[in-house]
Structure 1
Amino acid sequence: MRGTVLRIVFAAAGGGLVHLSFPPRTAWWLAPLGFAVLGVLLHGRRARAGFGWGVVWGLGFMVPLLRWTGEFVGLIAWLPLALLCAVLIGVGTALMARVSTLPGGPVLMALLWVADELLRGVFPFGGFPWGRIAFGQPEGWYLPLASLGGAPLIGFAVALTGFGLARLGRGWRRALPLVVLPPVLGLAATPLVGTAPDRGTAVVAAIQGNVPRAGLDFNAQRRAVLDNHVRRTLELAEDVERGRAERPDLVIWPENSSDIDPFRNPDAAARIDQAVAAIGAPVAIGAVVVDRSDGLPRNTVVLWEPGAGPTDTYTKRQLQPFGETMPYRSFFRLFSAAVDRAGTFQPGTDPEGFAMGPAKVAVDTCYEVAFDGVVRDSVRAGADIIAVPTNNATFGYTEMTYQQLAMSRVRAVEHGKAVVVAATSGVSAIVRPDGAVVDRTGLFTPDALVARLPLRGEATLATRLGAWPERVMAALGLLGAALGLTMQRRGSRPTPGAGAGEEETDGGPAGAA
């Protein structure tokens, strides 16, 4: 019994190491160590034990990582979501256990990790890709791999390093290349991360106006939020006139910077017009717009141009369940009345961004930056820079905003584009195409960031290949799992391995198979 408890602690600690590798910390190298723990636990196990260890490891990872989801609504959102993510990780580790003793076992296990992340990216409720390993690697040796195969390739490389570490004690000559090769390839890919401005440059400004207060009712004073962003834009315009700042070619306001519909409220439109005229550049305004066709709201970014007013719109395509939408509202209301705070927003369908001054801007609003396909489609629409208007006020001072900034940094390298993150309350940031942060704001502080950024039309290999690297890796992992199960049915039993230093074939939280 004592040994089982110690192994459970060992498993949870392994997942905790992966969490500690995520921002705002910069200990990216802890992630492979967390996977090494998982590799030790899974070696030679049957599927049921593999599932159990994976769930415990996943809880150690996801519970602290997703704490921000319960900042203002409590455990009812946080712990069920963390448990669901851990269970989905357990599905993958059940298969990893079956291939762990096959030839090339660590490679197959890393491929199955990619398949598991693919599953979590589409299921349930449209997927929840938060916690992908790549999003904890905005710095360090693995990041350049994003330009070759996107976030999935980073996840594969980190997992492979960890699973290779787990095998060092069982034959270091075979395991050592698995440990060394992934980070070496990442370092070798560094020169492939392009930063040259092949379409020229543009001066970009990100406005952070701040909100009256943090929490779910941050926009109760909607006019105050709008006025804050108008005021900070006017201050920037004054700085430009006095030579303290370079005049921007385009300006990005955050998501929800105007929760007053400017198409229905002339006073809101007048305030926006005042700010846009003062800065003398096109401004992307995050607004809540009620569609006249059905009377339902859209999370919209409005392109507002000097002297012309609103000329184009982008509607958020990937909506946040349990926030902007509420699946099975009547069912979940049985557990919490907080579900009625969730909106009835309708998704957009067009990935096309905006032509703003010299730049073609891809718009990926807040939650969308976590989804490979959403960002890819917006970039493929001809963009040479990426804008991420976001609103993190509903998550207070938690780590959520830093995790989201890490995603933007990975997207910069993946697609070879500079990224402009404009947040209502922080952290706003300017990111170069190599993932480096040029400038950033603090939390809940009005600010304006201005920087000259390269405009890049060249597509990276990751952009051109699209989803294929992830699909191929996931398919290979599942084929390996099918081979392992076939061997089991034919009576071929893999050699039992040790879990946390003790010989055991089946032991684990899920019980003996």
Structure 2
Amino acid sequence: MSDRFAWSVLLCAAGTWLGFANPLLHLPVLALVLPMSLAWLGLQARSLRQAFFRGWLAASAGYAAALYWVSIPVHEFGSLPWIAAVPCPILLGLYLGLYAGLFCLALAWAAPRTGWPVLILLAWTLWASLEYIREILLTGFPWLGLAQAFAPWPVFLQAVSVLGAHGFSGLLAGIGVGFVLGVHRPRALIAPAAALCGLTLFGVWHIQHPALTQQSINLPAALIQGNIEQGLKWDPAFQRQTLNRYLRMSRNAVREHGAELVVWPETAIPFYVQENTELSTKLRSFCRNHQVALFTGAPGYSLRDGGTEVVSHNLVYLFGPDGLVRGTYTKEHLVPFGEYIPFGSYLPFITRMVQGVGDFRPGDRTAPLEYKDLALGGLICYEVIFSGLVQHRVAAGANLLINVSNDAWFGRSSGPRQHLHQAVLRSIEQGRGMLRATNTGVSAIIDPQGRILQSTTLFAPETLQADSLPAGHGRTFFSRHYHLLRAAFFLLAAIAMLWIRMHNPGKPQPDHTCGKHTQRHER
């Protein structure tokens, strides 16, 4: 391994770690180091094989560094020793790095065959397509998309409402490639510079015209972050204390701020609400006595095969002020190795290794839960990272999104903040505000432009109050043309590659320098 390649790997890892949320210093612009490093490696590669291999390793180092926190839940709650937990983010990084390796390979193939305009277009559309594939392949893991890094800068992200997060990430990748090409060909700097200016100007305009999507609903609400220790949450002896804490904090919100809607996190209730027990009766009495609606996560079950099979579910319930259930939503995208074991019946040794994993079954209902003027689109835990799931909620009529989660699994790491940044993207994509209630943080209220209006700290019992809710009406360009946009990026990437191949039928050898690649085909 050459010294230059070793330094590029270290630079890619450091830039990716600092570019995404981390416990030290988050500088979003450094996320561009990832596509820029891949472009440099691809343009310098001596062969397509070398381009793929080096791009794969460099990106894998960056992804693994940013996903270091994955080892925490694997060790703390999966009962695996550190020697087995530490490789998990590395393996996950190696998987995500495969997509980056393909991106690097494509640039190495295209660079000696075409000029910088087509190369930037290919970078944009190919990166967007690869991110979308990451969302759907092998149950999907669209974490650490480039757009996610810029969540603290919502003004810059407003074009997500037009392009979607994946399309925006592709544009960022194209910008990074343009800057690398511009080192030797100054005219190539025109495109990325113009794109940055255009994104900023559009963002300022879009922020100043919230009437396009925003609609405040005057309904006082409260988000309760109970901060229940994960080790005690499912202890039967602690069920009463858990419920009492949430009830106490909710009563204060109703008494002091007049909340009419209270939101509790994922599985805030560690018992079966559907059973007529003392605790479930106490819960319903709270709603009746205070005339408040309650949106809360809870475990549930159903009976199948004539009542002989008990099937577990992860649900949210909407209780009305009369204490009756107005509707439920069952989580439809379960966490592999967290809520179920993929291929568990064929790989029994995996089940034995991760005995703390649940065995849940998904639901299939996407209709919003309605209360007064609200049509609440429910999202449980990491469902918020899937743009397709959120698209279904809004298409079904949701005017406000509610994400309930339990990020205690992540510990005091960058995981909760990275999760929050995904929620920001979903709000911008759909032009919908979001209430995000978590057990230990970060809970937040997000407006349709992706601005975090309020948020909590980690591992502290806190309450967020809102006099009105940032709902949305109408549909963004991305929401209206969701399927068309997804197809367009794949189609444009294919057209770009076909055009390159048809206009350059030969197989020229790389010149091994970024400058010569672009000089040969400068128009």
TM exceeding 0.5: yes
Distance in 1, Cα, partners of 2:20 & 2:347 = 31
Give the equivalent residue in structure 2 for 1:42: 42
Q: Aligned with 1:363: secondary structure?
A: strand
**Cα distance in 1 between the residues matched to 2:224 and 2:31:** 34
CA contact (8 A) 2:263 2:437 kept: yes
SS in 2 for 1:121: helix
Is 2:91 aligned against 1:75?
Answer: no
What aligned pairs does 1:368-387 form with structure 2 within 5 A after superposition?
Answer: 368-387=383-402
Match of 1:283 in 2: 294
- Looking at structure 2, the residues matched to 442 and 270 of structure 1 have their Cα atoms a distance apart, in angstroms, of 32
The aligned runs of 1:36-115 (5 Å cut-off) are 36-43=36-43, 45=45, 46-73=47-74, 74-101=85-112, 102-103=114-115, 104-115=118-129
Give 1:82's aligned amino acid.
Answer: G
Q: Which residue of 2 aligns with 1:159?
A: 173
Q: Are 2:415 and 1:400 equivalent residues in the alignment?
A: yes
Aligned residue for 1:383, secondary structure, equals coil
Distance change in 2, residues 1:41/1:279 (3 Å): farther
Deviation per CA, 1:230-271, whole angstroms, max 9, x where unpaired? 433433423543xx32x2232221111123111125133123
1:99 positional shift: 1.8
Residues 1:127 and 2:140 are matched in the alignment: yes
Counterpart among 297, 312, 324 of residue 312 in structure 2: 297
Secondary structure of the structure 2 residue equivalent to 1:443: coil
Report the AA paired with residue 357 of structure 1.
K
Which runs of structure 2 are paired with 1:469-484 in the superposition (5 Å)? 469-484=485-500
Q: Distance in 2 between matches of 1:439 and 1:162?
A: 32
CA distance in 2, matches of 1:340, 1:475: 44
Change in 2 beyond 3 A, CA 1:142/1:157: farther
Q: Name the structure 2 match of 1:192.
A: 206
The offset of 1:47, in angstroms, is 2.4
Give the direction of change, closer, same or farther, for the CA distance of 1:201–1:239 in structure 2 (3 Å limit): closer
CA distance in 2, matches of 1:321, 1:454: 32
Matching residue's letter, 1:395: F
Cα distance in 2 for residues equivalent to 1:42 and 1:226:
59
For the 8 Å contact 1:21–1:31, the answer to whether it is kept is yes
Q: Determine the structure 2 residue equivalent to 1:506.
A: none
Matched letter for residue 202 of structure 1: L
Q: Deviation of residue 12 (structure 1)?
A: 3.9
Distance 2:431 2:410 in 1: 29
Q: Compute the displacement of 1:358 (Å).
A: 2.5
Alignment match of 2:406 (pick from 382, 391, 394)? 391
Counterpart amino acid of 2:228? V
**CA distance in 2: counterparts of 1:469 and 1:494, whole angstroms:** 35
Deviation, 1:188, is 2.6
Residue 461 (structure 1) aligned to one of 444, 467, 477: 477
Aligned-pair CA distance for 1:478: 3.2
Secondary structure, aligned partner of 2:489: helix
Distance 1:56-1:487 versus aligned 2 partners, 3 A rule: farther
What SS does the aligned partner of 1:256 have? coil
Shift in Å, 1:199: 6.2
The alignment partner of 2:136 has SS state of coil
Deviation at 1:106?
Answer: 2.2
Partner in structure 1 of residue 448 of structure 2: 433
Q: 1:219 to 1:479 in 2, by over 3 A?
A: farther
- Residue 82 of structure 2: aligned partner: none
- Cα 1:225–1:421 shift into 2, 3 Å: farther
Secondary structure, aligned partner of 2:266: coil
Identify the range of structure 1 (436-445 vs 133-142) with the bigger mean alpha-carbon deviation: 133-142
In the alignment, what sits opposite 2:427?
412
Q: How does 1:103-252 map to 2 (within 5 A)?
A: 103=115, 104-124=118-138, 126-140=139-153, 142-173=156-187, 175-190=188-203, 191-193=205-207, 195-196=210-211, 197-198=214-215, 200-212=217-229, 214=230, 217=231, 219-221=233-235, 224=238, 227-228=241-242, 230-241=244-255, 244-245=256-257, 247-252=258-263
The Cα offsets for residues 166-217 of structure 1, whole Å up to 9 and x where unpaired, read as 01122112x11222122222223222355344464332221111113x4xx4
Of the structure 1 ranges 270-279 and 329-338, higher mean CA displacement relative to structure 2 is found in 329-338
Q: Distance in 2 between matches of 1:296 and 1:26?
A: 42
Counterpart position of 2:344? 329
Matched, 1:492 2:503: no
Structure 1 residue 67, shift from structure 2 partner:
1.6
Pick which of 473-482 and 301-310 moved more: 473-482
Q: What is the match of residue 422 of structure 1? A: 437
Quickly say closer, same or farther: Cα 1:219–1:349, change in 2 above 3 A. Answer: same
User: 5+ unaligned residues in a row in structure 1: which ranges?
Assistant: 504-513
Question: After alignment, is 416-425 or 8-17 more displaced?
Answer: 8-17
Amino acid aligned to 1:51: F
| In structure 2, distance between residues paired with 1:230 and 1:457 | 37
Using the TM superposition, give the Cα deviation of residue 502 of structure 1 relative to its aligned residue in structure 2, in angstroms.
11
2:372 corresponds to: 357
How far residue 427 of structure 1 moved from its aligned partner, in angstroms, is 1.0
Distance 2:161 2:50 in 1: 36
The one-letter code sitting in structure 1 at the alignment partner of 2:433 is: A
Identity value in percent: 23
Q: Please give the alpha-carbon distance, in whole angstroms, between the structure 2 residues aligned to 1:15 and 1:142.
A: 24
CA contact under 8 A between 2:446 and 2:470: conserved in structure 1? no
Q: 1:6 to 1:43 in 2, by over 3 A?
A: closer
CA distance in 1, matches of 2:388, 2:236: 32
Query: Contact 1:234/1:278 (CA < 8 Å) preserved in 2?
Result: no
Cα offsets for 1:45-78 (capped at 9, x unmatched): 4321221122122212211221221103212532
Give, in angstroms, the shift of residue 29 of structure 1. Answer: 1.2
CA RMSD of aligned residues (A): 2.5
Give 1 or 2: higher helix fraction: 2
How many residues are matched?
491
State the TM-score, normalizing by the size of structure 2: 0.87
Give the corresponding residue for 2:80: none
